[in-house]
Amino acid sequence: MFALASLGIALASLGAPAAAADSWPARPIHWIVPYVPGGGTDITARLLTPALSQALGQQVVIDNRPGAAGNLGTELVVSAPADGYTILFATVANTINESLYETLPFKLERDLASVGLLTKLPNVLEVNLALPITDVRGLIDYARAHPGALNFGSGGTGTSVHLSGELFKALTGISMVHVPYRGAAAALADVIAGQVQLMFDNLPGSIEQIRAGRVRALAVTDSERSPALPELPTIAEAGVPGYAASSWFGVMAPAKTPPAVIARLNRELVAALAQPEIAVRIAALGSVPAGGSPASMEGFVHDEIAKWAKIIAFAGAKAP
C-alpha cells in the first residue's frame, strides 16, 4: 500500500545488527518526522534535537518523510531495524489513522513501542483577514448565509486539523469544503493569501502568524484555553457545546527495540523538555511539555485510538 521503495531511502546504513544496549548510541540516530518542514511537528523536533544530540553524544538527524497522513514515515520506522537508530516523531494522526484507514500495513500498538510524550497542544481556528468574521458565532452565521462558500485547509486528510474541522461541521451543521495540502505550512500560506478561507492548525505552526496579525484567530479547539493565547476562548466557550479536540507529539520506536535503549532515550527526552530555555520556547509555541514514562505513553496511545475512532465515526470521515 505504502511501498517503501518509492521513498528512495537507502536503509543499508541502518541494517547492521543491533548494537548492545550498553553501547548505544554508537552512530547517528535518524528521527523520522513524517511531515513536511515548517509545520508544528518539524518546529518541535528541531527545537529538541540539539539538546538530545548533546546528551546522547551522537547526532540526531531529522529526516522529513511526508505522505499519506504520516503513514509513509511511520511504515519506514516500523520496517527499520529495532536497534534504536531509527525513531518516529509520532503524533495524534497515528492514533487517528488506526480507524481512518480500512487497511494499513502495520498496527500502531503491535509494531511500535512508546518512548515518551513530548508535548500536548490545542489546534486553533483561524480565518483569512478579508473575511468579515471576528468570532466563532460569526463564522457559523456566515457559513449558514453562504452555504458551500467556505473552504478550510489542512495538512492532509485524517490529520487532527482536518478532523477538528469535520467535528466542527458535524456539531454546527454548517457546510465547508475540505482542501487537503501536503503539510500544514502550505495550507497556512494559502489561508494568509486567501486561497482558502480558514483552517484548524496546530497552534505551534500558526502562533507567529497570529501574533504578526497575518491571520485572525477565533478560538482554540481544546477543552481549556491556551496559556500562550489566553484571550482566545475555546470553541465550546464560543458557542459550540461539547466541542473538544487537541493534538499531541511523542516519540515511538520499532516494537522490539531493547528496553534499555528506550529507557535511555526517554530519560534524555524528559531531561531536554525540562531545560528552562526549551520549556520557555515550547510554551511560546502554544504547547505544554508532557514527558512521562514509556508505559504512561503506551496507555495514552491506547486511549487516543479509542477516542478518535468515536470522532471519526461521528464525523463520517474517510481516508482518500
Q: Give the domain CATH number at 207.
A: 3.40.190.10
> CA 149 to CA 264: how far, in whole Å?
51
Least confident of 59-63, 86-90, 155-159, 180-184: 155-159
Which residue is listed with cell 527495540? 257
Q: Which domain holds residue 281?
A: 4-121+246-315
Q: Does position 13 have pLDDT exceeding 60, yes or no?
A: no
Q: What is the structure's pLDDT at 19?
A: 43
In this structure, the dihedral spanned by the alpha carbons of residues 113, 42, 120 and 68, taken in order and rounded to 10 degrees, is: -60
Tell me: the pLDDT tens digits for 136-146? 999 999 999 99
Q: Is 34 inside any structural domain?
A: yes
130 forms bridges with which residues in the sheet? none
Asked whether residue 88 falls in the same domain as residue 178, the answer is: no
Q: Which residues of 144-169 are buried (b: 16+ CB within 10 A; e: fewer)?
A: eeeeeebbbbbbbbbbbbbbbbbbbb
CA 19 to chain centre: 31
Least confident of 59-68, 154-163, 260-269, 302-311: 154-163
Q: Is 228 inside any structural domain?
A: no
Tell me: the pLDDT tens digits for 293-320? 999 999 999 999 998 998 888 878 888 7
Asked whether residue 111 falls in the same domain as residue 20, the answer is: yes
Query: Which string of DSSP letters, residue by residue, matches 181-198?
Result: -SSHHHHHHHHHHTSSSE
**Total number of domains in the chain:** 2
Q: What is the pTM of this model?
A: 0.79
Q: What is the structure's pLDDT at 290?
A: 92
CA 46 to chain centre: 14
Tell me: the pLDDT tens digits for 187-235? 999 999 999 999 999 898 899 999 999 999 999 999 889 989 999 999 9
Q: Is 53 inside any structural domain?
A: yes
Q: What is the structure's pLDDT at 12?
A: 38
